[in-house]
Chain A
């Protein structure tokens, strides 16, 4: 069976998201996010080449710079600066986490979400994978207690949404896409600055250890 490039890329995105739940090292988590982001940037570039659109290609390059170069670089600098040890603490234990992830994988195929995957009948498999990655990323953010995991989880949600939008034909004008990339770049800078401040004050980025809001 012939695998198209977009299908391969969204599969990489999906597996990178699933693997995040099993990560026990900061470097591995940052790598998985960079891998996921490379897949999304290539998806954008593939669409740009297919449409012969120079401006969308520029958006893809901008996405690559922000998501694959800038964001991982900021995370690595944050980890190096504070020698942050990885917090793999989760609200649910590993077996329960695995069960929830399995349920989330099949969620897009349920009747309730069928209209979403049916938006683009030619790309049902791709939209299902992107949608599953979206749900799994949402769960990752809520299940992990580590600050770095939460930040990367949020960016992973955004990657999944972009992939879904691309396959569902919901991509926005180049100007708006650039605006979104600019927003992500700003978000990464602000989140890492705040994380740095939190680490200086708490000596950890484990949100389970932040207990100053007890009133």
Chain B
């Protein structure tokens, strides 16, 4: 219980400190310390969950292997985002884009956002998880509208409205699942009791519940055709927030989908949920491919890439078997890669003051380290070896090739289009003559390089070596799917 209190309590406490302290240094370093403490607590908890099974902490919290993977991703990306935010916001204050008061507001909301995501992964009860995911929307809406520009306000409005609608549908679906447990007479329903009493659920209700739940949480995951909020919110938010939205939040919602999928599969068999996931996954990949190819804005390009990768994961869980394990591994690789890409994109934005691809030239000349980090991230996200995404994509497609050859062929074609799109846009940005008004001095700020470089290092290590704890968590989680 103490570890969990530290895990969720540390960012919550940092949020309170940020709310009441007028000293900017205290706000920044309290947030950084809280994220670091939370990450250390996560590592302790991870080995406990991996080697002792589900850790139950009172009747309200239970951390199984799947939830632990979500917590690991949240903590690591959260720490990277907070450390990067220190340098990023310092630059924005110096440029008079924002004032010091806004920095405080930023850290209040960012820490709350982090705490809500950790809470969602640890919640033992489906309604508690729903409340936590709803809290992620509420805490991040003002982070999306952070710059108070008409475009960011519009994106935040769209984000709040569409996600709230989605989550209400998800809430309705969740209640339908609970009809099984209410028949059993249970008062406080946990994921475990829901799974135990799944046989009491009417199969027709299970199918309807899954559809409502998938539309609801699928909106938050960013699966097409419910993805329309995602490119706007991810491109208008400050880059560390975009990294959190893309690298963490989408996965938390996907974890909710997977928990309900397990229950549905117990009642109606795996085929039903698998077919829907394959269709939505494929649709997400196809739409993202087209949009990446014609993209003019590099932040939107990364946002569409998140839709593509969520589609790949949906495809993996739809194919089932070994593809489920690959999809879980893909979740980790994607989180690290996408956060690395967004944070590198932040450096590009600080230097070029534009998110338009046409206005960014010669990044390798003006920002040599950032250029290399960004290029490595693009190679990784495109699925080139030796990066892990190459192996996870291969494993997913290979597993699905027997039963769903057409889906695999369409996905392969879309991957080729995405690769061409990425290559075209990235070469335009990295090479060429930089514009005259660019000030190439931001790489002297170490805060702006440490986080993306560390993420690349972790990604590279995990691509060739899987630590025992993580391997056990992945196999245990995939066995339940």
CA gap between A193 and B232 in the complex, in Å: 20
Partner-contacting stretch, out of B40-48, B96-104, B134-142: B134-142
Tell me if A116 and B154 are in contact (CB < 8 A): no
Partner-contacting stretch, out of A12-20, A29-37, A176-184: A176-184
Q: Which residue of chain A is the closest to B156 with respect to CB atoms? A: A194
B residues less than 8 Å from A113 (CB atoms): 208
Specify which of A179, A180, A191 is in contact with B160 (CB 8 Å cutoff): A191
Tell me if B157 and A201 are in contact (CB < 8 A): no
Q: Which residue of chain B is the closest to A142 with respect to CB atoms? A: B165
A residues less than 8 Å from B156 (CB atoms): 194
B residues less than 8 Å from A213 (CB atoms): 151, 154-155, 158, 232, 236
Partner-contacting stretch, out of B167-175, B320-328, B360-368, B398-406: B167-175
Q: Which residue of chain B is the closest to A207 with respect to CB atoms? A: B157
A154 adjacent to chain B (CB < 8 Å): yes
* A-B residue pair count with CB separations less than 8 angstroms: 113
Q: A194-B156, A197-B148 are in contact. Are A170 and B178 (CB under 8 A)?
A: yes
Tell me if B164 and A187 are in contact (CB < 8 A): yes
B182 adjacent to chain A (CB < 8 Å): yes
Tell me if A157 and B165 are in contact (CB < 8 A): yes
List residues 154-209 of chain B with CB under 8 A from any CB of chain A.
Answer: 154-158, 160-161, 164-165, 168-169, 171-172, 175-176, 178-179, 182, 187-188, 202, 204-205, 208
Interface string of B122-159 (1 = CB under 8 A from A): 00010110010011001001100100111101111110
Tell me if B127 and A172 are in contact (CB < 8 A): yes
Majority DSSP secondary structure for residues of B touching A: helix
Q: Which residue of chain B is the closest to A119 with respect to CB atoms? A: B179
Shortest Cβ distance from residue B396 to the other chain A in the assembled complex, whole angstroms: 31
Q: A138-B165, A141-B165 are in contact. Are A198 and B128 (CB under 8 A)?
A: no
Tell me if A154 and B208 are in contact (CB < 8 A): no
Interface string of A196-212 (1 = CB under 8 A from B): 01100110000100101
Size band of the interface chain B makes with A: 35 or more
Majority DSSP secondary structure for residues of A touching B: helix
A169 adjacent to chain B (CB < 8 Å): yes
CA gap between A86 and B379 in the complex, in Å: 50
CA gap between A194 and B172 in the complex, in Å: 26
CA gap between A64 and B145 in the complex, in Å: 31
CA gap between A116 and B157 in the complex, in Å: 32
List residues 20-77 of chain A with CB under 8 A from any CB of chain B.
Answer: none
Shortest Cβ distance from residue A87 to the other chain B in the assembled complex, whole angstroms: 14
Q: A115-B208, A157-B168, A194-B145 are in contact. Are A173 and B188 (CB under 8 A)?
A: yes
Tell me if A161 and B154 are in contact (CB < 8 A): no
Interface string of B112-127 (1 = CB under 8 A from A): 0000000000000101
Tell me if A161 and B168 are in contact (CB < 8 A): yes
Size band of the interface chain A makes with B: 35 or more
A residues less than 8 Å from B154 (CB atoms): 198, 202, 210, 212-213
CA gap between A116 and B141 in the complex, in Å: 33
A100 adjacent to chain B (CB < 8 Å): no
A168 adjacent to chain B (CB < 8 Å): yes
Tell me if A150 and B161 are in contact (CB < 8 A): yes
Tell me if A173 and B187 are in contact (CB < 8 A): yes
B105 adjacent to chain A (CB < 8 Å): no
Tell me if B125 and A194 are in contact (CB < 8 A): no
B residues less than 8 Å from A112 (CB atoms): 208
B residues less than 8 Å from A193 (CB atoms): 142
Q: Which residue of chain A is the closest to B161 with respect to CB atoms? A: A150
Tell me if B182 and A170 are in contact (CB < 8 A): yes
Specify which of A151, A170, A215 is in contact with B300 (CB 8 Å cutoff): A215
CA gap between A197 and B142 in the complex, in Å: 10
B residues less than 8 Å from A172 (CB atoms): 127, 178
Interface string of B470-481 (1 = CB under 8 A from A): 000000000000
Interface residues of B (CB under 8 A from A): 125, 127-128, 131, 134-135, 138, 141-142, 145, 148-151, 153-158, 160-161, 164-165, 168-169, 171-172, 175-176, 178-179, 182, 187-188, 202, 204-205, 208, 232, 235-236, 296-297, 300
Interface residues of A (CB under 8 A from B): 112-116, 119, 134, 138, 141-142, 147, 150-151, 154, 157-158, 161, 164-165, 168-170, 172-173, 176, 179-180, 183, 186-187, 190-191, 193-195, 197-198, 201-202, 207, 210, 212-213, 215
| 8 additional A-B residue pairs with CB within 8 Å, beyond A183-B131, A190-B141 | A119-B179, A154-B164, A157-B165, A164-B175, A169-B179, A180-B131, A213-B158, A215-B297
Q: Sample 17 A-B pairs with CB under 8 A, ordered by A number.
A: A114-B204, A115-B205, A116-B208, A119-B179, A119-B202, A161-B175, A183-B135, A193-B142, A194-B141, A194-B157, A201-B148, A202-B153, A210-B157, A212-B150, A212-B151, A212-B154, A213-B151
